[in-house]
A and B are shown apart, each in its own frame.
Chain A
């Protein structure tokens, strides 16, 4: 669940009749109008409608700030005063301290910067550094921040093409002197993006911190402020040379966790502490006062590394995730095979099962997996348990699946396995990809399952 505003596309939501009237009277949204109907007279600012309002409804903002909805039929509307332009952020307090580390903030959209702008009818974004510093003055004490807007998208609309663009931008920011990079991004698919960036950024020698918010920054209780402050702290002061996600660790505003990009997952629709480490511990915890406590092994920044970070962004768009469940029709595999897919990640049950010997023989997944593998499709097995490691030998059925050529993906999440396979296929080819899928590259596979990595 995102808490973004419903986007009012100015005027579009009004009925034709109202649009004509507004045009005739020279009234725009934002103007002060007088509405008269029977004994009722209302003076206030005309607000744009959203898709949630009735078509015949005019929304008028009273002097006390309240909006009221009145049906237009049988009314008279008069222009009182044209509207004024929007509030400008004061330029004061934007001075940046040259002694502080340089951090790049790449804005890509999502809840974190969304806010209604009634003048333009669009969504108002944190774009200029002065706006960001105005809203979050603490940042100017952490780093010199340069803000780049890459795009303005909801994360559910993002594809690997956006991840490629982000990876390239991150690499170029680091190579031109940024000590660390913060990427603000929508939360729904943030853990796919963090996995993609983890694989794409080769020879990374700086912290790359993805952050976002579950509550939009237009509410005083938003998690955005602390998330950005903590993310900037990691980017500016930590020696972590990895990609990770920095979001609330609990429902309290006490600290954020920094979770390895390949081991994170959004585990709640709406809570601010939705992102959890899966089969791993957070790399670090960080608070809004700049304190970082390290909590896990991690790749450290090497001070004199000459080698530049490169963005290896090849990505196959021909990998699918398929879920195995009771009575699931295995011919779904054939469907993908028929569409020339190169890889399929199966979210199996338990240790990595799919139906192998069901009472209706035709519901067995085994022949379909065999057929796909024979055609050269890489089939990876993960578990819908989310937590834990898959295993290819405990039960006979598992051995059968494995013998059919499916690759067991250890303790990788399905999402990470999906991104990894897509990335491997394009950059290394099928043979190598099959070999590399179950082996650790970026912390996505741990060598042993630690006790304390469950439900934390």
Chain B
């Protein structure tokens, strides 16, 4: 585990070092969500499997924010409700029942899921609670038909040593998966309910991660630990990491929707830059004694005959504006490359239902707004050269709702940075955008339909006995493989289980299998091969054929590529059909004899020729052996 441990502290050239992050008061914690491998869902008898299912029905629902256990309405919940969307749920044959769509009370908590959760908590050195209290975490984005997610704290107060850092693990909870989103419009979101209720564990780390690089290392470590249980689901979407980031003077920001760990550090670094930029903006706004007007002005009259398409009016629509005192130039300030304070405010306004807003730091002529219209607008709002403004055109109610949210965000820009949940924008720039305010504790409510679960000594012992250990696994791999780096990469890789399956079932050379799964597949992915479409069963099949001398090493890659391109059949059938069956033994000897016949070329030339012609189907060593054997026999014959 040495390499893994030190990796967190190594740095690539050009990167900021840990002292930089210490200096800015960097705080970072992770929430890792991992789906568990169980037959049934957490609170019902529906299949929790990953096999496809057929869709049968749809239902439509609306949700609203309700007060939490302590009576106050959660701000994130309220915010979602502002949007008043219709939610459409698709119901499936084997994977949806009345429990999933909030038409029947939950059954007992799934015991298998619980035991996996406890064994992971044990591996994280956690204190397992005496009695587990199922809770409802209010979620009104529609992703759960109940409007809440059932979640239960299993362990508290754990830790993990990653490199030289001890990372606190304050909490592990066992939760229901949400529904998968299928489509979303302004007024409607549709979800698939086949996934809702699948058990998952959420592992939270403390805010003690010291750098973006360490965040990535910790996430990798936890991912590995989870896979080592061999009782977690694998594949796209089965593990998700949310990152919480703040800097001194900034605010806690939760980043969701990171699709792969590789770029986690880049997202975190960009968030750090964003917060630092917003802090500077806030300082400047305070210095200028900036303020946001109280009054929202209806300025529809100014644009009665405008040429700006974006401001064309229809019955029931309104154009409204708010003056921003002392904001001149600030809305156009970049917070991340290509994203400005104006973008941030606009993202808020969109939550109210508009497509966006126009602000005074933009090139208004570009929208087709005339100089006289601008002059009239500035006169109405009493805009001086130090000021700016925000303008929204939409249906009356939507416009006002959106402007109220935008005004709130503009005010926060003076105070500093609002706490937010942000979503990763997966366009290769590693940036994020606002999705909702950070939810608070007010959204928790006891799940009165599910009984508390007493943790007995027996449950504890059984779970602890099966607790995974990263160190133990690493020792095992190191004893099998020559390269410790390869062992480390394999340990961290989602393909560890294929490696274990293949090496347990076949006599294939372990070093070759490991190298193929780690280096070769990465190479193939980079060259555009869809490696994720090849199942573990297919991989195992390929190596079984290889181990029984049915394929060469090169042939392994070729058959793999055939599977990746969607070809069906067994590895042997594909090899046969595509001329990839290995030529060896007597057949190879005949081949060599034919090549030799009447040839005056040297052995090395012959090897070269055979290898170039039969590269995919012959083994280099075997060819060399066969040629030297053949030439020996020729010499014997000649003497």
Interface residues of A (CB under 8 A from B): 1, 3-6, 39-40, 42, 45, 47, 50, 52-54, 57, 59, 61-71, 86-87, 115-118, 135, 214-215, 217-222, 225-226, 250-254, 269-272, 288
Over the window 144-175 of chain B, the binary record of Cβ atoms lying under 8 Å from chain A Cβ atoms (1 yes, 0 no) is 01111001010011000000000000010100
Q: Is the pair A270, B98 in contact by a Cβ cutoff of 8 Å?
A: yes
CA distance A56 to B294 in the complex (A): 55
Shortest Cβ distance from residue A83 to the other chain B in the assembled complex, whole angstroms: 9
Cβ 8 A contact of B66, one of A59, A69, A71, A219 = A219
Shortest Cβ distance from residue B13 to the other chain A in the assembled complex, whole angstroms: 40
Cβ 8 A contact of A63, one of B66, B441, B452 = B441
B57-65, B312-320, B365-373, B543-551: which lies at the interface:
B57-65
CA distance A50 to B146 in the complex (A): 23
Number of B interface residues in the complex (CB < 8 A): 54
Q: Is the pair B103, A270 in contact by a Cβ cutoff of 8 Å?
A: yes
Q: Is the pair A251, B130 in contact by a Cβ cutoff of 8 Å?
A: no
Shortest Cβ distance from residue A140 to the other chain B in the assembled complex, whole angstroms: 15
Shortest Cβ distance from residue B633 to the other chain A in the assembled complex, whole angstroms: 77
Cβ contacts under 8 Å, B72 to chain A: 87
Cβ contacts under 8 Å, A135 to chain B: 66
9 A-B pairs with the lowest CB-CB distances in the bound complex, closest first = A69-B131, A65-B444, A220-B147, A87-B71, A65-B441, A67-B133, A221-B147, A71-B130, A252-B60
Q: Is the pair A52, B451 in contact by a Cβ cutoff of 8 Å?
A: yes
Over the window 449-462 of chain B, the binary record of Cβ atoms lying under 8 Å from chain A Cβ atoms (1 yes, 0 no) is 10110100000000
CA distance A219 to B77 in the complex (A): 12
Cβ 8 A contact of A67, one of B62, B64, B135 = B135
Q: Is the pair A86, B71 in contact by a Cβ cutoff of 8 Å?
A: yes
Cβ contacts under 8 Å, A117 to chain B: 71
Cβ contacts under 8 Å, B454 to chain A: 54
CA distance A64 to B69 in the complex (A): 12
Residue of A nearest to B157 (CB): A40
User: With A1-B104, A118-B69 in contact, is A65–B443 under 8 Å at CB?
Assistant: yes
Q: Is the pair A220, B63 in contact by a Cβ cutoff of 8 Å?
A: yes
User: With A40-B157, A70-B131 in contact, is A221–B63 under 8 Å at CB?
Assistant: yes
Q: Is the pair A252, B61 in contact by a Cβ cutoff of 8 Å?
A: yes
Cβ contacts under 8 Å, B153 to chain A: 62, 66-68
CA distance A250 to B66 in the complex (A): 23
CA distance A253 to B64 in the complex (A): 12
Q: Is the pair A71, B105 in contact by a Cβ cutoff of 8 Å?
A: no
Cβ 8 A contact of B442, one of A3, A65, A219, A252 = A65
Q: Is the pair A218, B60 in contact by a Cβ cutoff of 8 Å?
A: no
Q: Is the pair A270, B105 in contact by a Cβ cutoff of 8 Å?
A: yes
Cβ 8 A contact of A220, one of B66, B70, B448 = B66
CA distance A87 to B130 in the complex (A): 31
CA distance A270 to B445 in the complex (A): 21
Shortest Cβ distance from residue A60 to the other chain B in the assembled complex, whole angstroms: 9
Q: Is the pair A226, B67 in contact by a Cβ cutoff of 8 Å?
A: no
User: With A71-B131, A220-B77, A220-B147 in contact, is A65–B68 under 8 Å at CB?
Assistant: yes
CA distance A40 to B125 in the complex (A): 12
B138 interfacial contact with A, CB 8 Å: yes
Apart from the given pairs A70-B131, A116-B445, A221-B146, 15 other A-B contacts in the complex at a CB distance below 8 Å: A3-B448, A50-B448, A57-B130, A61-B444, A65-B69, A65-B444, A67-B444, A68-B129, A68-B133, A71-B131, A118-B70, A221-B145, A221-B148, A250-B59, A270-B105
Cβ contacts under 8 Å, A62 to chain B: 153, 441
Cβ contacts under 8 Å, B77 to chain A: 220
B102 interfacial contact with A, CB 8 Å: yes
Cβ 8 A contact of B452, one of A57, A217, A253 = A57
Q: List 7 A-B contacts (CB under 8 A).
A: A40-B157, A47-B446, A64-B171, A66-B133, A218-B67, A220-B140, A221-B147
CA distance A86 to B442 in the complex (A): 13
Over the window 75-119 of chain B, the binary record of Cβ atoms lying under 8 Å from chain A Cβ atoms (1 yes, 0 no) is 001000000000000000000001001111100000000000000
Q: Is the pair A219, B147 in contact by a Cβ cutoff of 8 Å?
A: yes
Cβ contacts under 8 Å, B68 to chain A: 65
Cβ contacts under 8 Å, A288 to chain B: 62
Interface centre among A45, A86, A221, A271 (most CB of B within 10 A): A221
User: With A53-B131, A68-B133, A221-B63 in contact, is A3–B105 under 8 Å at CB?
Assistant: yes
Shortest Cβ distance from residue A39 to the other chain B in the assembled complex, whole angstroms: 8
Cβ contacts under 8 Å, A63 to chain B: 441
Cβ 8 A contact of A42, one of B64, B66, B145, B156 = B156
Q: Is the pair B147, A52 in contact by a Cβ cutoff of 8 Å?
A: no
CA distance A253 to B59 in the complex (A): 8
Cβ contacts under 8 Å, A45 to chain B: 70
CA distance A64 to B438 in the complex (A): 12
Q: Is the pair B171, A70 in contact by a Cβ cutoff of 8 Å?
A: no
Q: Is the pair B130, A220 in contact by a Cβ cutoff of 8 Å?
A: no
Interface centre among B62, B72, B148 (most CB of A within 10 A): B62
Q: Is the pair A66, B171 in contact by a Cβ cutoff of 8 Å?
A: yes
Interface centre among B132, B156, B446 (most CB of A within 10 A): B446
Residue of B nearest to A226 (CB): B62
User: With A42-B156, A54-B452, A254-B60 in contact, is A69–B129 under 8 Å at CB?
Assistant: yes
Shortest Cβ distance from residue A47 to the other chain B in the assembled complex, whole angstroms: 8
Cβ 8 A contact of A52, one of B60, B156, B452 = B452
Cβ contacts under 8 Å, B103 to chain A: 214, 251, 270-272
Q: Is the pair B441, A6 in contact by a Cβ cutoff of 8 Å?
A: no
Interface centre among A4, A251, A253 (most CB of B within 10 A): A251
Cβ contacts under 8 Å, B156 to chain A: 40, 42, 68
B537 interfacial contact with A, CB 8 Å: no
CA distance A56 to B151 in the complex (A): 23
Shortest Cβ distance from residue A219 to the other chain B in the assembled complex, whole angstroms: 6
CA distance A87 to B442 in the complex (A): 11
Shortest Cβ distance from residue A40 to the other chain B in the assembled complex, whole angstroms: 5
CA distance A222 to B103 in the complex (A): 10
CA distance A214 to B101 in the complex (A): 13
Shortest Cβ distance from residue A77 to the other chain B in the assembled complex, whole angstroms: 14
Cβ contacts under 8 Å, A70 to chain B: 129-131
Over the window 414-454 of chain B, the binary record of Cβ atoms lying under 8 Å from chain A Cβ atoms (1 yes, 0 no) is 00000000000000000000000000111111101101101
Q: Is the pair B151, A66 in contact by a Cβ cutoff of 8 Å?
A: yes
Cβ contacts under 8 Å, B61 to chain A: 221, 252-253
Q: Is the pair A271, B98 in contact by a Cβ cutoff of 8 Å?
A: yes
B274 interfacial contact with A, CB 8 Å: no
CA distance A42 to B153 in the complex (A): 13
Shortest Cβ distance from residue A15 to the other chain B in the assembled complex, whole angstroms: 14
B127 interfacial contact with A, CB 8 Å: yes
CA distance A6 to B450 in the complex (A): 10
CA distance A288 to B444 in the complex (A): 28
Cβ contacts under 8 Å, A270 to chain B: 98, 103-105
Cβ contacts under 8 Å, B70 to chain A: 45, 61, 86-87, 118
User: With A69-B131, A253-B62 in contact, is A218–B445 under 8 Å at CB?
Assistant: yes
CA distance A252 to B68 in the complex (A): 25
Interface centre among B103, B148, B440 (most CB of A within 10 A): B103
Cβ 8 A contact of A65, one of B64, B131, B440 = B440
B136 interfacial contact with A, CB 8 Å: yes
Cβ contacts under 8 Å, A115 to chain B: 67
CA distance A408 to B131 in the complex (A): 56
Residue of A nearest to B444 (CB): A65
Cβ contacts under 8 Å, B62 to chain A: 226, 253, 288
Residue of A nearest to B131 (CB): A69
Shortest Cβ distance from residue A293 to the other chain B in the assembled complex, whole angstroms: 18
Cβ contacts under 8 Å, B65 to chain A: 220
CA distance A272 to B448 in the complex (A): 18
Cβ contacts under 8 Å, B130 to chain A: 54, 57, 69-71
Cβ 8 A contact of B132, one of A69, A254, A272 = A69
CA distance A52 to B449 in the complex (A): 11
Q: Is the pair B446, A65 in contact by a Cβ cutoff of 8 Å?
A: no
Interface centre among B66, B140, B443 (most CB of A within 10 A): B66
CA distance A54 to B105 in the complex (A): 22
Cβ contacts under 8 Å, B133 to chain A: 59, 66-69
Shortest Cβ distance from residue A275 to the other chain B in the assembled complex, whole angstroms: 14
